[in-house]
Amino acid sequence: MKTSESLTINTRALASWSCATLLALLALLPPQALARDAARDLSRMIGYTIVAAGTVKEATSARDGGTLIILDTGAIFKITDPILPPLPLTDAVLFAKPPSKEILEKFGGKLPAVQLNLYKLLIDNEAHDATIVRQ
């Protein structure tokens, strides 16, 4: 019993040391490095517009792979990227990008505009490619 108690104490000490080390390393990063990361992330959103927002009601695995994100608005999105299921009440923002001229020429009259747009769902400060399952 004494061995398991000391193991628990050592594991806790290691966990707190790792967290403290990580915080110290983050504090050493120059603000310019963080700004470069933000600029790089935002450059991926060129052409997208915020079209909706809500909170995550539920996240579940899709039958054919990926994750279904159900928002409090009733909208359902499918994300195929690997993602840790977000917690309920996590904020989510939907971005849309209109289709290119080539896509419009090819599918313009055949599919609704909702299916032609490109979508990204921002959850936990990460943007994921998304498709609308239900609006």
Checking if the pLDDT of 1 tops 60, the result is no
Q: Looking at the structure, tell me whether residues 81 and 20 fall in a common domain.
A: no
| Residue 86, amino acid | P
Q: Looking at the structure, tell me whether residues 58 and 106 fall in a common domain.
A: yes
Checking if the pLDDT of 130 tops 60, the result is yes
Distance (Å, whole) CA 98 – CA 48: 8
Q: Looking at the structure, tell me whether residues 64 and 80 fall in a common domain.
A: yes
Over residues 83-119, the pLDDT tens digits come to: 887 888 889 999 999 888 888 888 767 777 777 888 9
Domains in the chain, number: 2
The verdict on pTM exceeding 0.75 is no
Q: Phi and psi at residue 82, in whole multiples of 5°?
A: -65, 130
Q: Looking at the structure, tell me whether residues 30 and 53 fall in a common domain.
A: no
Which structural domain range is residue 34 located in? 2-42
Checking if the pLDDT of 19 tops 80, the result is no
Q: Looking at the structure, tell me whether residues 57 and 98 fall in a common domain.
A: yes
Percent of the chain with pLDDT over 90: 25
Q: Looking at the structure, tell me whether residues 65 and 120 fall in a common domain.
A: yes
